[in-house]
Chain A
Amino acid sequence: MNTITETRWLGQDIREIWFENSRIAGSFKPGQFLVIRHGETGERIPLTIVEVSDGRIRIIIQQVGYTTSRLCRLKKGESLGNVIGPLGHHSDIVKYGSCVCVAGGIGAAPLKPIAAELRKQGNRLTVIEGVRSSKYLILDKELEKIADRFILMSDDGSVGEKGLVTLPLKKMMEEGNRPDYVYAVGPPVMMKAVSVLTRQYGVPLTVSLNPIMVDATGMCGSCRVEVAGETKFACVDGPEFDGNKVNYDLLMNRLKVYADDEKHAGCDIGGDNAG
């Protein structure tokens, strides 16, 4: 179980892994995640499931710290170690009408199954994908295929339009193409910027949060987030929440708790892109 069957680099420091685990694959629904612990000394980290097929699971990992770097170095035939899941509530997706999915960086990975399900339910779908630069671009072809309309943005203009993901979203709102529903997954600062727009135009927003977790079964409370002023555990109450009510500043702050320890372990924690 958990043997890797396929790996490839999708972009700089971004690795795709397919592995075998029929019992998790059999129970998975879009929006859910899993926890991986690699090796006897490994820490437990949450990762979103991108896709399942024939008892195999597809995950996408960005090297941002010690553990993700170790996972990215694994090869076909090796075991991922302990894999627990599927965890969290699945997305509650119905037909809303016109929807926009906003993906930032590695957030494209968790967003893909949600976008696919939105399309399956008969929604008109615009996908806006944003990346720092072309070398971090992932899943664009697949998202383009799912979407009725696909907009690509990059911070440096190396691919797609230059600018933030909120630019085309704002334009849609201002031009009167206000969507009925928005999904956003990406760095907290991006989700926060999206929520400013959706609140302003009164559009419902769902976001998927990925705070620090340990057991991910509700036991430890490490993943505390604040939604509408109330503390929630992202692992058992989420990972999806009303994006118009999330306290993003708190989320960003809590993601930095172990930043010094990551430095100690000789790694840089790229908190800005931890999707």
Chain B
Amino acid sequence: MPTTRNTQDATSEEIMPVEPKKTPMREQPPAERTKNFDEVPCGYSEEEAVKEAKRCLQCKKPLCVEGCPVEIDIPAFIKHIAEGDFRSAIRKMKEKNLLPAICGRVCPQEDQCEIKCVLSKKHDPVAIGRLERFIADWEARQEEKSAAEKAAPTGKKVAVIGAGPGGLTAAGDLIKMGHKVTLFEALHKPGGVLVYGIPEFRLPKSVVEREVDFLVASGVKLELDYIVGKTSTIDQLLEEYDAVFISTGAGLPWFLNIPGENLNGVYSANEYLTRSNLMKAYLFPQYDTPIIRGKNVAVVGGGNVAMDCARTALRLGAEEAHIVYRRSKKELPARIEEVHHAEEEGVVFDLLTLPVGYIGDDNGWVKELECIKMELGEPDSSGRRRPVPIEGSNFRMKTDTVVCAIGQSPNPLIPQATPDINTGKSGNIEVDPATGKTSKKGCFAGGDIVRGGATVILAMGDARKAARSIDEYLRTGKW
């Protein structure tokens, strides 16, 4: 039942009811969507968006903004939506975030802006992510697009390495600040993890293309098929560019290091998703890249990437897709929404289960995964209860395809080729967290190359911070 507003900001005159639940978003039904790669949630209509926007209390000291790594003026853009002024809403959004269609879909809002929403104390928080997605998609349907407002040209040139979420954000911010920006990408398409990793059904590639096109229209120069560290070095770039931002991501997959890992049929999540998403193997043979269409697919790991793999497996025709995770459901690192979607689609969760070996057939293909059951013991350094093997509980599960989605290390190409950039134990580039400065003059870094495997929005937050310090460095010359 609707309750009344009762917050720091509500005056006695404007007490009015607030709908306790988020306006629901329509979705493709589970039975249908596992047969296609189309996006699962359908987005808000204009009426739904306005209705949801009106739930916002317009706090004078909005806590949601504090929760946003890129500091979007959330109440302001929502107010415009509530008033039906979508043009002003997208302008307000793009003051801070040039990639709203992406963030609206893949940010973990429940841990960031929405968790801070005052409404969430008693009710559902405002569906900030859905409204962000709505306003971006609304603009995509309009003929007139907003262009980035640019400061006067500074004459300075910046090389941004890696066209993933961090690189795209840095490029967008730097071009707005009046610098010339070239964005270097190793793959044949821009977008990084947004195009090779996150599946079409969660983030349509046309959405990424749209946001990249906007950057290019705003003046960012894009160099594809260019591997910094190989095609040229950072030092060579510094002859031409005044500063460099490195956001090359976490591109070195981990395996379990258990016997049989190199049997045919064992994939890293990166390979499985790259084949399906970037190379469009789900459309083989119309596209030339093949992928193993397993009937019994086991995905090892419990994060968003693991959910993406299991749901991809179903869409590729798997009869069974299992998540094999060593802790319990409570500890799954994936977003609740992703776990929920996977469950709806019929993904089987083998929890408290740890793989210990792969068993191959006579032709060198994986046929079984040997696992051991776990129980939860004392809390470990992460605060989560440590999973402990139950002796003698080994069992084998039948499988023809295994996908390891247990994380990754920073990509080694640039650190290898640039010895004067300091790196940490796991090969990550070390930076001053406040500025993104590396040990090498003129070089900044952010995102997963610094953090290891984290999230899209944290990479974007790093990029925003680094863009500010790059701007300051270029204007003052002070390192």
List chain A positions with a Cβ less than 8 A from chain B. Answer: 23-24, 27, 37, 41-44, 66-67, 82-87, 214-215, 217-222, 224, 226, 231, 233, 236, 250, 253-254, 256-258, 261-262, 264-265
Contact = CB atoms under 8 A, between A and B. Distances in A.
A263 to B, nearest CB: 11
B262 A224 contact: yes
Interface of B: 186-188, 196, 224-227, 230-232, 251-253, 255, 257, 261-262, 264-265, 267-268, 270-271, 274-275, 279-280, 284-290, 292, 363-364, 411-413
A217 B186 contact: yes
Contacts of A41: 280, 286-288
Contacts of A84: 186-188, 225-227, 231
B292 A257 contact: yes
Contacts of B279: 43-44, 214
Contact of B188 (A82, A219, A221, A262): A82
B285 A220 contact: no
A230 to B, nearest CB: 10
Contact of B270 (A24, A43, A220, A256): A220
A254 B227 contact: no
A253 B364 contact: yes
Nearest to A45: B288
Contacts of B224: 82
Contacts of B411: 217-219
A42 B288 contact: yes
Nearest to B225: A84
19 contacts: A23-B231, A41-B280, A41-B287, A43-B279, A82-B224, A82-B225, A84-B186, A84-B225, A86-B231, A215-B196, A218-B252, A219-B253, A220-B274, A222-B271, A224-B262, A231-B257, A253-B363, A256-B364, A257-B264
Given A27-B232, A250-B364, 18 more contacts: A27-B231, A37-B188, A85-B231, A214-B289, A215-B251, A217-B411, A217-B413, A218-B252, A218-B413, A219-B252, A221-B270, A221-B271, A226-B262, A231-B261, A231-B262, A253-B364, A256-B264, A261-B284
B79 to A, nearest CB: 42
A262 B288 CA distance: 9
A218 B413 CA distance: 8
A42 B230 CA distance: 23
A47 B280 CA distance: 22
Nearest to A214: B274
A262 B232 CA distance: 35
B412 to A, nearest CB: 6
Given A23-B232, A261-B284, A264-B285, A220 B364 contact: no
A260 to B, nearest CB: 9
A257 B400 CA distance: 12
B230 A215 contact: no
